[in-house]
Amino acid sequence: MSVSVLTLTAISLERYYAIVHPLRLRATPSRTRLTIVAIWVVSAILIVPELLLVRDHMVRGLVFIVVGGSL
């Protein structure tokens, strides 16, 4: 989910700078690669707490999602 939001934010910022400063910012392959890697790294960092804290438990055929505690 955060990859999509960050990708749209990066596209929006790039378009903003292209309109406001048309001769200043040039998109290069290396800058594009760096942006993609940064988006994925930030997204991976943001998901770590959820991976560590969210657990699911099945009780009588029902699945319960528990955040940070035990059922």
For the chain, how big is the Rg over CA atoms in Å?
Answer: 19
Tens of pLDDT, residues 14-66: 999 889 998 887 778 999 999 999 999 999 999 888 777 777 666 777 777 77
Q: Note the pTM of the prediction, 2 decimals.
A: 0.70
Per-residue model confidence (pLDDT) at position 70: 55
User: Model confidence at 8, in pLDDT bands (50, 70, 90)?
Assistant: very high
Residue 51: which domain range? 2-67
Structural domain total, the chain: 1
CA nearest 6: which of 37, 28, 39, 35?
39
Burial class of 1 by CB neighbour count within 10 A (0 to 12, 13 to 18, 19+): exposed
User: Model confidence at 4, in pLDDT bands (50, 70, 90)?
Assistant: very high
Contact 59/71 with Cβ under 8 angstroms? yes
